[in-house]
Homo-oligomer: A and B are copies of this chain.
Amino acid sequence: MNRLIYLPLGGAGEIGMNAYVYGYGPKGKERLILVDLGVAFPDMDASPGVDLILPDVGWLHDKLDRLEAIFITHAHEDHIGALPHLWPGLEKKVYCRRFTATIGRLKFEEAGLPVDQIVTVEPRPATVEVGPFKVQFVPVSHSIPESSALVIDTPAGRIFHSADFKIDHTPVVGEGWDDARFSEIAAERPVKVMACDSTNVFSTHPGRSEATLAEPLTELIRSRSGMVVATTFGSNVARLKTLAEAARAADRTICVLGRSMKRMLSAAEEAAVLSGFPKTVSPEEALEVPRRNLMLLVTGSQGERRAASAQLSRGKYLGIEMKEGDTFLFSSKTIPGNERDVLRVWNAFSEMGVQVIDDQNGKYHVSGHANRPDLEHVHRLILPDMLIPMHGEHRHLTEHARIATESGIAAAVAPNGTMLDLTGDVPEVAEYVETGRLYMDGTSMIGALDGVVRDRIRMALNGVVTVTLILDETDTPMGEPWVELMGLPPTGRGERSLSETMEADLDEVIGRLGRKVLADDDKLEEEIRKVVRQVAMEEIGKKPEVTVVISRLVAE
């Protein structure tokens, strides 16, 4: 008997790192497709030093003969970012719409991967047939061009995978929302399962259109006398267009700073989703424009240290400098966890006399995700038998399931690794699959639980003591043990040198150790560790990490 399964490998239980598997076929032999392959971003608290976080798609690795294809819903990093890193282990065709394909091919080129594996698909009714799946791309509005929901037809029924979306009748870039487009999907064939974006389920007011920003932004930019600098996500091409047009209306020349933003704009033009973007000038040319006639569009809405906004907050960037009387606008929302970085930039501008303006509770920014009333509206249009909340932290999934259940739709909270059997009338847990996160660290890939990052966190919290001891052929210590401190105060109580106190105590203790301990690396190390921690507790009230290096000279 064939079954229909759903398995999130990422994105369900977190915001970011989206990766969803659908399968159809006999149990354990289902044909599979993968929808999205995104990254999450590291932070100092939990993943210091890490460059990127990727979903562990190891579950797929021994099922490659069953994996039909990869579908990417849109070009945000949390949906496409892991593709160049994980594709080499999957090597399946990648289907997406034109703009997403443009971004995907840029990534493949940089990674030296075959760009012809990325296939551009036109929107519904165009259909990709792979194995038992017929997949169509349905245009939806979001904060990037050409985001698409997927209609996935299987012999067991129709799936509607919402991807990231909002209801926007006037989205500035791309097609406006049209209820008919969605009710038609359900009319054509009843929707068995809807997997649905959950990120904004706690926002209780209806979402607002991108087009509502034009007027307040134009007014704001017109009212300022100095240079105006605005930041937003580089991929929010509609916002960039709104900002640029507002700037033009205020007689300002536009200059774009930041590689990722420029890249998105040119990809949008290449994919023909953006036209009529006002002419921009180079940073050199911008220097010739009077400040009151200049508007910069810059990267760094999250206060990222290397982005243009942070660079400008620290001083000159590409010859351009912010000054008293200038204005900096965050046409963006701070993602939870980035508050400190954003405020650092804000305060640095404040010190320069630059007035910083944030989104002012939505006046200068609207979200790209559907809020609760919008989700409820879409539930009613699609009328699915089952609702699977996806893309959200556990709290979002639970809340989304709750509102679905309240309106009579069977719903299941399925965090990463929960395989659901969707064959019947209600979702049932089929299996729990081991999933996890991979850390891209420099050029290495390490498991989140490998201990490498745990050690980094411990070193940062506790500091490190390295003890070196040399013993001769007869297991007799040669000279005193040597102590090095890293990340620890150099002196303890009464201004005594901490390392010297440790060395003295170690020397004394080691002098009293018996032959058996001295001859045994493990026991000796344990003794040394004990002394170091004890001295540290007494002297500085901390228990540091301890590395012991025992060198034994051998007769030649």
Binding site for B on A (CB under 8 A): 13, 43-46, 48-49, 336-337, 339-340, 343, 346-347, 350-351, 356, 393-395, 397-398, 415, 441-444, 446, 450, 452-453, 455-457, 459-464, 466, 468, 470, 478-479, 482, 484, 486-493, 540-542, 545, 547, 549, 551, 553-554
Contacts and interface: CB of A to CB of B under 8 A. Distances in A.
Q: How many copies does the complex hold?
A: 2
24 contacts: A44-B45, A44-B457, A45-B340, A48-B461, A49-B462, A49-B487, A336-B343, A343-B393, A347-B394, A351-B394, A441-B489, A441-B542, A442-B540, A442-B541, A442-B542, A444-B489, A444-B540, A444-B542, A446-B489, A455-B487, A456-B463, A459-B464, A479-B551, A482-B551
A313 B346 CA distance: 34
Nearest to A443: B541
Contacts of A394: 347, 350-351
Contact of A545 (B450, B478, B486, B542): B486
Nearest to A393: B347
B551 A49 contact: no
Contact of A453 (B446, B457, B487, B541): B487
Nearest to A202: B358
Given A44-B44, A347-B394, A482-B551, A456 B446 contact: no
A362 B49 CA distance: 37
Contact of A395 (B339, B346, B455, B463): B346
Nearest to A349: B395
Contacts of A46: 340
Contacts of A48: 44, 460-461
A395 B487 contact: no
Given A488-B452, A489-B441, A540-B441, A43 B340 contact: yes
Contact of A340 (B337, B444, B464): B337
A393 to B, nearest CB: 5
A452 B487 contact: yes
A340 B415 CA distance: 19
A413 to B, nearest CB: 9
A318 B308 CA distance: 50
A100 B539 CA distance: 32
B466 A549 contact: yes
Contact of A492 (B340, B444, B466, B478): B444
Contacts of A337: 339-340
Contact of A350 (B45, B395, B442, B489): B395
A474 to B, nearest CB: 14
Nearest to A461: B49
